[in-house]
Amino acid sequence: MKKIILAGWLTALLVSGSAAAESAGPPLDLLARPLESAQPYAWKHFSEDPQARLSEVWQLRDGVLVCRGTPKGYLYLDHAFTNFILRLEWRWPEGKKPGNGGVLFRLTGPDKIWPRSLEAQINAGQAGDFWGLEGFGLDGPAERKKTLDHAQFGKLTNLKRAADSEKPAGQWNQYEIIARGPTVILRINGEEVNRATGCDVRGGRICLTAEGDEIHFRNLSLRELPPNETAVSPQPNKPENR
């Protein structure tokens, strides 16, 4: 009888896991089509210069998304996401000084520099830090957490990375961002470098920032997670530096 019950329990577990994976669907290639085409979510942009066109800051060249960096702003998916796995690769151009960049998500409120959101930092030498912008809530180990009030950007919360895993300029880095309820995990080049808990849970846009410096992206993929699915993902392959 125990064997029969155990076998039934395992079957139910496998079926429920399969159903969750099926409902989530395969990862979506975010650079498979021209930026301004629906795919099914169109890329749009905000710029501090109202006259700036998307193509003046962001260009897709042979699968590589090139951000010129100026004027400042962000490229965003026109949809609200809460739970997801976002994977991307980034690099700073060889021969140029690495600068500032980031990924904003769960972004809400009006467009501006910078809106309420959680940032996965890409700044050179700081990749893997969290920043809660304009009061966005998050928590983590006290020895790595600090808060401050900024005259322009409101309350800011920083959770410093636990490890340095980024590569030098000219080489591709891999970012994996796993947002599941109040917990968000950051992995760089296959290593977990940060984990925030107590994060605000709300649907919001996903953005790539333009912060004054040229930066390149490729292999952007997004998989939405159903509310009841545990975000367990296999270790990704290491990026090729070419």
Residue 60 domain flag: yes
Predicted local distance difference test score (pLDDT) of residue 22: 40
Cα dist from 24 to 21, 40, 87, 219, whole Å: 5, 15, 16, 19
Residue 4 domain flag: no
Per-residue confidence in pLDDT tens, the chain, 242 aa: 444 444 444 444 343 443 444 445 789 999 998 988 877 788 999 999 999 999 999 999 999 999 999 999 999 999 999 999 999 999 999 999 999 999 999 999 999 999 999 999 999 999 999 999 999 999 999 999 999 999 888 999 999 999 999 999 999 999 999 999 999 999 999 999 999 999 999 999 999 999 999 999 999 999 999 876 554 444 455 556 65
Give the total number of structural domains in the chain: 1
Residue 203 domain flag: yes
Question: CA 57 to CA 31: how far, in whole Å?
Answer: 16
**Domain of residue 179, residue span:** 26-224
Residue 240 domain flag: no
Predicted local distance difference test score (pLDDT) of residue 211: 97
Q: Which residues pair with 145 in a beta bridge?
A: 159
Residue 235 domain flag: no
Cα dist from 137 to 118, 133, 152, 158, whole Å: 8, 8, 18, 10
Residue 19 domain flag: no
Residue 242 domain flag: no
Task: Report pTM.
Answer: 0.85
Report the 10 Å Cβ neighbour count for 141. 12
Chain-centroid distance of CA 12 in Å reads 33
Please give the single-letter amino acid code of residue 188: I
Predicted local distance difference test score (pLDDT) of residue 237: 55
Please give the single-letter amino acid code of residue 42: A
- CA Rg, the chain, in Å? 19
* CATH number of 60's domain: 2.60.120.560
Are the C-beta atoms of residues 214 and 83 closer than 8 Å to each other? no
Predicted local distance difference test score (pLDDT) of residue 152: 87
Residue 1 domain flag: no
Question: CA 168 to CA 98: how far, in whole Å?
Answer: 9
Instruction: Tell me the two tokens of residue 87.
Output: 């994977």
3-class SS at 2?
Answer: helix
Are the C-beta atoms of residues 72 and 210 closer than 8 Å to each other? yes
